[in-house]
Amino acid sequence: MNSLHHVFKNHTCCSFLAPLPWPQQPTIPSSPLCNAWPVLAIVPSPTADSATTSHSSRSSNHCVQLYSLQSHSYLHSLGFNSRVLSLKCSPRLVVVALDAQIHAFDTANLQHTFSAVTYSMSAALQTVKADSHHSGSTAPMALGTAWLAYASNQAS
């Protein structure tokens, strides 16, 4: 619990926070995550303190920051051109949901694995919030150890 206190002592606002499970494959020495576990994936809130995003030129909620609980430092930032709506992590993948697409990264080395076009998630999230009075947002997707489910936007 001391580690989480350290993370949030100066950086209290975040939209999403997820622990990265130990990767299924060993990390390679050139990976920013090598020997850094345990690691948290953090999506800063739009109201986040400027200290949280000082190393990124993008808007605070347009990135996923990876924070090591071992070294108490930010290791890497994954930047996007639009707002991050959700984040899911498994031993194989880190999946980031944007408005009309998802991006998947290998957990061991953060290499981009694939992208997929999805239905617009903003409208779906507004409907979910209105129906359930839910204050947070989560994209309509699910991630297991060997599968990813999402609403594809491809004509058949």
How remote is the C-alpha of 23 from its chain's centroid?
A: 15
In-domain check, residue 86: yes
pLDDT of residue 13: 79
The band of 104, judged by pLDDT with boundaries at 50, 70 and 90, is very high
Burial class from Cβ neighbours inside 10 Å (0-12, 13-18, 19+) for residue 61 reads: buried
Residues 6+ apart with CB under 8 A from 8: none
For the segment 48-64, what is each residue's pLDDT rounded down to a tens digit? 444 444 444 446 778 89
Cross-strand pairs, 117: 101
Least-confidence region, from 42-56, 68-82, 137-151:
42-56
Average pLDDT, the chain: 75
Question: Which residue would you say has higher pLDDT here, 28 or 134?
Answer: 28
The band of 136, judged by pLDDT with boundaries at 50, 70 and 90, is very low
Do residues 117 and 154 lie in contact, with contact meaning Cβ atoms separated by under 8 Å? yes
Q: Does residue 132 have a pLDDT over 60?
A: no
Percent of the chain as helix, strand, coil, to the nearest 5: 15, 35, 50
The residue behind tokens 């939209």 is: 15
Do residues 40 and 11 lie in contact, with contact meaning Cβ atoms separated by under 8 Å? no
pLDDT of residue 54: 44
pLDDT of residue 112: 93
**Strands, E assignment, the chain:** 14-20, 39-44, 63-68, 73-79, 86-89, 93-97, 101-106, 112-117, 141-143, 148-150
In-domain check, residue 23: yes
In-domain check, residue 155: no
In-domain check, residue 141: yes
The number of folded domains in the chain is: 1
The residue behind tokens 């080395």 is: 109
For the segment 2-32, what is each residue's pLDDT rounded down to a tens digit? 445 445 555 557 777 889 888 877 777 777 8
In-domain check, residue 156: no
Task: Indicate yes or no: pTM above 0.75.
Answer: no
pLDDT of residue 87: 87
In-domain check, residue 42: yes
Domain that holds residue 51: 2-150
Share of the chain above pLDDT 90, in %: 10
| Alpha carbon separation from 49 to 10, 62, 71, 76, 77 (Å, rounded) | 8, 14, 21, 18, 16
pLDDT of residue 113: 92
Any idea what the CATH number is for the domain that residue 60 is in?
2.40.10.480
